[in-house]
Amino acid sequence: MSTLEKVLEVLKNSKEPLKAGDIAELAGIDKAEVDKAIKELKKEEKITSPKRCFYSVNQ
């Protein structure tokens, strides 16, 4: 499973928006990798940021 898939999976399973550090902890991957994945997923419009530094899956 790629980093993008792991980040997306963690966000899908969360009932509330998460910070990058929380995503990294839950996915068991480095925060720097999560930051890169978040940037890519935002570009692909798969995730949104409902408030600053928090992320959730697009519905």
pTM summary value: 0.92
The two three-digit tokens of residue 30, written as one number: 């480095």
Vertex 21: Cα angle to 39 and 25 (nearest 5) = 115
Q: Domain holding 52: CATH number?
A: 1.10.10.10
Per-block average pLDDT, block size 10, for the chain (59 residues)?
A: 96 97 97 98 96 93
Which residue from 46, 44, 10, 45 is spatially nearest to 20, judged by alpha carbons? 10
3-state SS assignment for residue 30? coil
Residue type, 31: K
pLDDT at position 59 is 75
CA distance 2 to 37: 10
Distance CA 22, CA 2 (A): 18
Say what the pLDDT of residue 3 is. 96
- Domain residue limits at 35: 3-57
Domain count, the chain: 1
